[in-house]
């Protein structure tokens, strides 16, 4: 006996948004309206698979770190249940600020810090782009934006980027996990919501 197949229809809704409010006099201050923050959060959630901005936990201990090992390329799940890719980055801020913090990179199931040796604005441009920001504002060396805890590994050192790489793992660098740094040299990045005028 043959069954009749009933066709289904799919409706797709596309939402567009304006470029947001303009500041009088071209003031490049980094303060954001709630609408801009929401737009950035939505962009980060949709474009940067596994790339995250995290608030550092207050108090002692904690720290989720997953177990190292397993298959190459994808491991733990990030926000929204998506698998994290090797090379995903996050900014860890004690103040909970989304646009700045200590840089951490995800590799083989573990989050680790990046040493500030040779790290410059081109490398910061790669990080900020991964996180959905328009451009880097500053590179903060000597752990100005916070040191990683002793249990956190230092994963990258001597990072030199052209600025067009997709992740820091594509940049010239030392072997992952090989370094001559301490957490006093953890690099921090401040990203901008707006592209600089040239």
pLDDT band at 35 (very low <50, low <70, confident <90, very high): low
Pairing relation of β-strands 89-93 and 100-107?
A: antiparallel
Tell me the DSSP string of 103-135: EEEEETTEEEEEB-TT--HHHHHHHHHHTT-SE
Higher pLDDT pick, 75 / 179: 179
Element spanning 112, H or E: strand 110-114
Question: What pLDDT is recorded for position 31?
Answer: 55
Of the candidate CATH numbers 3.40.50.620, 3.10.250.10, 3.40.50.1100, 3.40.50.11610, the domain formed by 82-198 belongs to: 3.10.250.10
Least confident of 48-62, 128-142, 163-177: 48-62
Q: How does pLDDT run across 91-103, given as a tens digit for each residue?
A: 999 899 999 999 9
pLDDT at 70 over 80: no
pLDDT band at 61 (very low <50, low <70, confident <90, very high): very low
Element spanning 139, H or E: strand 135-140
Q: How many residues does the chain have?
A: 198
pLDDT band at 77 (very low <50, low <70, confident <90, very high): low
Are the C-beta atoms of 115 and 181 separated by less than 8 Å?
yes
| The pTM of the whole model exceeds 0.75 | no
Q: How does pLDDT run across 165-179, given as a tens digit for each residue?
A: 999 999 999 999 999
Question: What pLDDT is recorded for position 48?
Answer: 42
Higher pLDDT pick, 173 / 45: 173
Are the C-beta atoms of 192 and 30 separated by less than 8 Å?
yes
Mean pLDDT of 80-93: 87
- Tell me how far apart the alpha carbons of residues 168 and 53 are, in angstroms, rounded to a whole number: 16
| Six-digit token string for 116 | 């500030």
Least confident of 6-20, 114-128, 159-173: 6-20
pLDDT at 122 over 70: yes
Within a 10 A sphere around the Cβ of 6, how many other Cβ atoms?
Answer: 5
- Tell me how far apart the alpha carbons of residues 87 and 126 are, in angstroms, rounded to a whole number: 11
Domain ranges of the chain: 82-198
pLDDT at 73 over 70: no
Question: What pLDDT is recorded for position 80?
Answer: 60
Tell me the three state secondary structure of residue 84.
Answer: strand
3-state helix, strand, coil split of the chain in percent (to 5) is 20, 25, 60
């Amino acid at each position: 006996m043959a069954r009749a197949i009933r066709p289904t229809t799919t409706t797709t809704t596309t939402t567009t948004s304006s470029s947001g409010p303009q500041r009088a006099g071209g003031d490049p201050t980094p303060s954001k309206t709630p609408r801009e923050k929401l737009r950035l959060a939505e962009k980060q959630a949709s474009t940067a698979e596994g790339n995250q901005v995290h608030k550092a936990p207050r108090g002692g201990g904690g720290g989720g770190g997953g177990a190292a090992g397993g298959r190459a390329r994808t491991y733990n799940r990030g926000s929204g249940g998506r698998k994290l890719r090797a090379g995903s980055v996050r900014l860890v801020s004690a103040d909970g600020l989304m646009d700045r913090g200590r840089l951490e990179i995800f590799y083989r199931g573990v989050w680790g810090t990046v040493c500030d040796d040779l790290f410059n604005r081109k490398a910061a441009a790669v990080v900020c782009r991964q996180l959905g920001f328009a451009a880097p504002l500053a590179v903060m060396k000597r752990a100005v934006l916070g040191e990683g805890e002793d249990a956190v590994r230092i994963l990258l050192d001597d990072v030199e980027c052209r600025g067009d790489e997709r992740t820091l793992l594509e940049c010239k660098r030392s072997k992952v996990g090989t370094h001559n740094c301490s957490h006093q040299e953890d690099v921090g990045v401040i990203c901008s919501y707006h592209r600089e005028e040239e």
